[in-house]
Structure 1
Amino acid sequence: MKPDLSLGRSDRIFNEARERILSGRLPADAPIRQDALALELGVSKIPLREALARLESSGLVASHPNRGFVVSPLSRRDAEDVFDLRLRIEPNACVLGAVAADAVGRETARTAFAALNAALNGRRTDVGRLNREFHLALVRPSGRAVTVETVDRLLALSERYVRVHLGEERRLDRASREHETLLEAWLERRTDVILTSAEHHIRATLTDLRAQLPEDPAP
């Protein structure tokens, strides 16, 4: 993914580090070697540490006194938390987006779906990112900044889990069908179908993840 040159340096560093985590290039539980990462990104350690602090507040990394920053592990408990919040917020946010979408927003959603579908059919490694962009395209036209920001954060937190979920071949076709059903309802502004389709899609993913992820150790 090419960096967005319209962003400031701090945001570009944050986005690049975040994409490395979400794509799995920095895997769960991996220590973040700041010297090497700063060299790769062509930046000093000070702005990188600022980006890592932002990632920590987003829940993607954790800092430990003796280990420094570490990519947050995947856990069933966190998946339950993230997807439960998506269920509470995202379906209604999709309705708001559908109602408010203009021609540009509707075309953006179609384009995002086509890109995601091509990635699913091609079994490509960027499926997680394109899945996030598709779901966000259904919400962004609402114009509700706090809602969009909240959904964006939840989609980022769920992206690594989506990659795990789609690792099973049989789920790719199902995901494509569910996305198509959701998009069609969204374009036609069928609010009741948008709600039920979005809820079904998110809940089905969570059900699969419950079976895939090992139980968390007792606190």
Structure 2
Amino acid sequence: MVIAAKTLSEQAFEIIRERILSTELAPMTPIRQDALADELGISKIPLREALTRLEQQGLLSSHPNRGFTVSALTPEEAEDVFCLRLKLEPEAAGAACLVADDARRDTAISALSGLEAMLRDDPVNAVRYNRNFHLALVQNPLRKQTAHMVERLHLVAERYVRKHLEPAGRNERADREHRDILNAWLARDAATVEAKLTMHLQTTLDELREEVAR
């Protein structure tokens, strides 16, 4: 069996995606394709493939004769993404905790430990670790498509999560909520997992409604 290396398009996709999620490429920033292709050392064909994939994920927008720009943060998108997360994620996490084996339980514990360490040492860049923790809770061998859909929602939601965690005190509250959710998940208490994760996501959405509108 031969393991294929990542294509240039895949590598460019991952690099640009992380720049968008970290807001190194801020909302509404135009993508200068010539300069970016030179920087990454690739031709414009694999770059355009990567940009098209990012547009499909909702992170870029394209305009005739104007190319690609980083998608804006909007109240409508925040509402859409977090409402979908509320419909899928709590129930998926509750179901996953009932079938999680030791390896998946260890992954969830490690994911929260990594997130807590990043919140102490580098809170600005802790958002990716937040994604890893939430995704660890929904991994379920019986519901792989659900986990995949939740992951796609997280990629779009990540810039909103970053914005939500900007005010002082938000990281500390989120950490307490995450710890409570994990404890219920490890106890295989599906009802409590669903209730606490629903409250966690709903609180985030309620606060985002005001922040993104401003």
Q: Normalized against structure 2, the TM-score is what?
A: 0.93
Please state how far the C-alpha of 1:200 moved relative to its aligned partner.
0.5
Give structure 2 stretches of 5+ with no counterpart. none
Q: Distance in 2 between matches of 1:26 and 1:143?
A: 37
Amino acid corresponding to residue 24 of structure 2 in structure 1: R
User: Residue 6 and residue 105 in structure 1: after superposition, are their counterparts in 2 closer, same or farther (change >3 A)?
Assistant: farther
Residue 27 of structure 2 aligns to a residue whose secondary structure is coil
Q: Distance in 1 between matches of 2:6 and 2:151?
A: 17
Q: After superposition, what is the alpha-carbon deviation per residue over 1:141-180, rounded to whole angstroms, capped at 9, x for unaligned? A: 3452211111011011110000000011111110000100
Q: Distance in 2 between matches of 1:112 and 1:143?
A: 21
Amino acid corresponding to residue 24 of structure 1 in structure 2: T
Please state how far the C-alpha of 1:120 moved relative to its aligned partner.
1.6
Amino acid corresponding to residue 148 of structure 1 in structure 2: A
- 1:109-188 to structure 2, matched below 5 A, reads 109-188=108-187
Kindly indicate whether the alpha-carbon contact (under 8 Å) linking 2:13 and 2:51 is maintained by their aligned counterparts in 1: yes
Please state how far the C-alpha of 1:123 moved relative to its aligned partner.
4.2
Kindly indicate whether the alpha-carbon contact (under 8 Å) linking 2:90 and 2:198 is maintained by their aligned counterparts in 1: yes
What residue is the counterpart of 1:30 in the other structure? Answer: 29
Q: Distance in 2 between matches of 1:194 and 1:155?
A: 18
Q: Distance in 1 between matches of 2:25 and 2:139?
A: 28
- Pick which of 169-178 and 36-45 moved more: 36-45
Q: Distance in 2 between matches of 1:204 and 1:95?
A: 19
Q: Distance in 1 between matches of 2:126 and 2:166?
A: 10
- Pick which of 94-103 and 17-26 moved more: 94-103
Kindly indicate whether the alpha-carbon contact (under 8 Å) linking 2:104 and 2:136 is maintained by their aligned counterparts in 1: yes
Please state how far the C-alpha of 1:39 moved relative to its aligned partner.
2.3
Please state how far the C-alpha of 1:130 moved relative to its aligned partner.
0.8
Residue 125 of structure 1 aligns to a residue whose secondary structure is helix
Please state how far the C-alpha of 1:206 moved relative to its aligned partner.
0.5
Kindly indicate whether the alpha-carbon contact (under 8 Å) linking 1:93 and 1:142 is maintained by their aligned counterparts in 2: no
Amino acid corresponding to residue 63 of structure 1 in structure 2: S
Q: Distance in 1 between matches of 2:43 and 2:7?
A: 15
Please state how far the C-alpha of 1:40 moved relative to its aligned partner.
2.4
Q: Distance in 1 between matches of 2:103 and 2:198?
A: 25
Kindly indicate whether the alpha-carbon contact (under 8 Å) linking 1:23 and 1:160 is maintained by their aligned counterparts in 2: yes
- 1:77-96 to structure 2, matched below 5 A, reads 77-96=76-95
User: Residue 167 and residue 9 in structure 1: after superposition, are their counterparts in 2 closer, same or farther (change >3 A)?
Assistant: same
User: Residue 6 and residue 197 in structure 1: after superposition, are their counterparts in 2 closer, same or farther (change >3 A)?
Assistant: farther
User: Residue 7 and residue 90 in structure 1: after superposition, are their counterparts in 2 closer, same or farther (change >3 A)?
Assistant: farther
Q: Distance in 1 between matches of 2:95 and 2:42?
A: 40
Please state how far the C-alpha of 1:96 moved relative to its aligned partner.
2.3
Q: Normalized against structure 1, the TM-score is what?
A: 0.91
User: Residue 143 and residue 116 in structure 1: after superposition, are their counterparts in 2 closer, same or farther (change >3 A)?
Assistant: farther
What residue is the counterpart of 1:54 in the other structure? Answer: 53
Q: Distance in 2 between matches of 1:212 and 1:157?
A: 17
Identity %: 48
